[in-house]
Structure 1
Amino acid sequence: MTALTGTDRQQPPRSAPDGTARRLRRPKPGRRGEARTAYGFLTPNLLLLSVFVFLPLAGAVVISLQETNGFGDGRFVGLDNYARLVADGVFWRSALNTALFTLIVTPVSMALGLGVAVLLNSVLPARGVFRSILILPMAVSGVATALIGTLVFDENSGILDKLLRFVGLPAIQWQSGGAEAFASVVLVTLWWRVGFNMLIYLAGLQGINPLLHEAARLDGANGWQRFRHVTVPMLGPSSFFLLVMNVIYSFQVFDIVFVLTGGGPQNATSVLVTYAYDTGFVTRDQGYAAAIGVVLLLVTLLFTAVQWRASRSRDLVE
């Protein structure tokens, strides 16, 4: 027999201090290599965010500290633009309209989206047709949706007022009345947002295990109890996502308001974004408009952080 060389011999297992054999462990891949790979995948997205998000935000903050009309160099005024917000009645009216718009549109659109999703997830006939009709506004832009809303709510030639006159009812002043104009903006926005909420809720409903409902039914729960104690809790992630998205959209609403009412009459439908647009591009006070935008950004970030913290705390408790 030939003698085994040093490379052919099987190394005996090493002994631990207590006499037991210890297996040799292969070295794990370095974490530095994994980190470099991760940063390599993230770099394109980080570059896009830097160019199109972070740099414009930094530029807006710089402009908000200046007095400028957008032409030439601005004059540094520090926090004077933010101090003007405190005494600006139009700003507070726009902020109040934005908050009221958010408080109405967010829960109503989510409730309607959930109700329609439950119907479309059942044995409702012609579900595909209804689903297509509700999703249709998502396929067009907000400007196109607002133009369709103008055809319906125009107080001179709108379809709705013509129908009201036809049945002998008085026409509604959708543009010249403050409450009526605000209502028209809310209704068009609901028509546009319900389809998106329905789609997210429908995906969440289809991901619920049917055995949960069957177990609840066997325990004696009726339809409403199964919906309240099984369906709604299981849709928690979808509801959290929709709450944040709907609030952010409501804070940033512009196109529908701009096309339908332009912020009028007498600032009755003016929101923060339309007021910032008028200030920056009509009166050319771009420093003050940038300050409005920065305040809106801070409010949005604050709300998102509070909702995220509340969601995390609820998940930990559960």
Structure 2
Amino acid sequence: MRPLKSLAYKDGFWAFLMLLPNVLGFLLFLLAPVLATFAISFSDWNLTDDFRFNGFDNYKELASDPVFHKVLGNTFYFTLVSVPIGIVLSLLLAVFLNQKLRFIRFYRAAFFIPVISSMVAVSVIWQWIYNPEFGLLNYALSWFGIDGPAWLTSPKWAMPAVIITSIWKSLGFNMLLFLAGLQSISESYYEAADIDGARWYSKFARITVPLLSPTTFFVTVMSIINSFQVFDMAYLMTQGGPARSTSVLVYYVFQNAFQYFRMGYASAMAYVLFFIVLIVTFIQFWRQRKWSIY
């Protein structure tokens, strides 16, 4: 027994040694900043003055800050529009790319390219597409006699333009997840439906959609979390304008922290975002059994 016990201790020592870099990285670069941010949210620290606690003053100010209310509304608007449309389009695209077509691998790779493309490059390309004078989108609309708007400089159209770009950017990733889910569905279900004379839409509604419910749940949760954390696209394409029509919550956190140097106020805002995402995710997991068959 003693050699086995010493061998277990030896294996445990090497396992701990291998895990130590990840554990230290988690403690130093994730847990410590999260705890520090929580403490800073109760202060008026601005990077230059001494650290001083001010209680719940930052959170009270958030409740009466009209800019915070606007950017929070913009964030919900972005989420409520981009997430459902993105999920539906990626599901339909996955169904199409799950067929036995020529050059199917090329099509799958082409739709996935935006996912791995640089956000800076994507923003530059779409800024050119949205250009009101020589942009590709308004040029295409002119074929139908439509006078396209000034997309990125219009308070009415700037957020829809950012949403369209965001959906295009993430479409390939969600498509890949749905494609994996589709390929895990046994063909026997569809063969049985064919024997019963089911139409394609019946097979999609009664077989594909229910059996994809775990994948749909995962895609929905991840899409909502990512949409609440959107920042780079609004920063690169519009800088939060015009008139803060595309200013989202993370962008306002960035402004307060690194432009206005209000670290305490920015940290309080970050924790409000954290609790919003936490509550929304909890509700989704709580309601999962209502619409997932697994």
TM-score, normalized by the shorter chain, greater than 0.5: yes
1:269 equivalent in structure 2: 246
CA distance in 1, matches of 2:210, 2:142: 46
8 Å contact from structure 1 (residues 155, 172) kept in 2: yes
1:282 Cα deviation (Å)? 1.5
Larger Rg: 1
User: What do the CA deviations read for 1:252-290 (whole angstroms, capped 9, x no partner)?
Assistant: 000011111111111111110111111111222121111
1:155 aligns to 2:132 (yes or no): yes
Aligned to 1:309: 286
Partner residue of 2:75 out of 91, 94, 98: 98
1:60 is matched with which residue?
37
Letter matched to residue 147 of structure 2: P
**How is 1:28-47 mapped onto 2 (pairs within 5 angstroms)?**
40=16, 44-47=21-24
Q: Which residue of 2 is the match for residue 173 of structure 1? A: 150
Corresponding residue for 2:197? Answer: 220
Q: Offset of 1:133 from its aligned partner?
A: 1.6
Deviation at 1:248, TM superposition (A): 0.6
RMSD, aligned CA: 2.5
- Matched residue type, 1:239: T
Alignment of 1:225-240 (within 5 A): 225-240=202-217
Q: CA deviation at 1:37?
A: 8.3
Structure 2 equivalent of residue 12 of structure 1: none
Q: Residue 256 and residue 124 in structure 1: after superposition, are their counterparts in 2 closer, same or farther (change >3 A)?
A: same
- Report the counterpart of residue 48 of structure 1 in structure 2: 25
How many percent of aligned residue pairs carry the same amino acid?
36
Deviation at residue 114 of structure 1 after TM alignment: 0.6
1:192–1:38 distance in 2 versus 1, CA, 3 Å: farther
Q: How many residues align?
A: 288
Flag structure 1 segments of 5+ consecutive residues without an equivalent.
Answer: 1-28
Cα deviation per residue 1:57-91 (whole Å; 9 max; x = unaligned)?
11111111111212242221011000001111111
Distance 2:290 2:30 in 1: 29
User: Is residue 117 of structure 1 aligned with residue 94 of structure 2?
Assistant: yes
Per the alignment, in what secondary structure is the counterpart of residue 74 of structure 1? coil
CA 1:106/1:166 → structure 2, altered by over 3 Å: closer, same or farther?
closer
Matches within 5 A, 1:186-197: 186-197=163-174
Task: Rate the CA distance shift 1:175–1:45 in 2: closer, same or farther, 3 A.
Answer: same
Aligned-partner Cα distance in 2 for 1:185–1:273 = 15
**Structure 1 Cα separation of the partners of residues 209 and 145 of structure 2:** 43
1:279-298 to 2 correspondences below 5 Å: 279-298=256-275
Between 202-211 and 153-162, the greater mean CA deviation after superposition: 153-162
Between Structure 1 and Structure 2, which shows a larger proportion of helix residues? 2
- Other-structure match for 1:3: none
Contact 2:123 2:236 (C-alpha < 8 Å) held by counterparts: yes
Question: How much does 1:238 deviate?
Answer: 0.9
Deviation at 1:48, TM superposition (A): 2.7
Q: Give, in whole Å, the separation in 1 of the partners of 2:135 and 2:261.
A: 34
Task: Name the CA distance, whole Å, in 2 between partners of 1:254 and 1:100.
Answer: 14
What corresponds to 1:7 in structure 2? none
Contact 2:213-2:291 at 8 Å conserved across structures: no
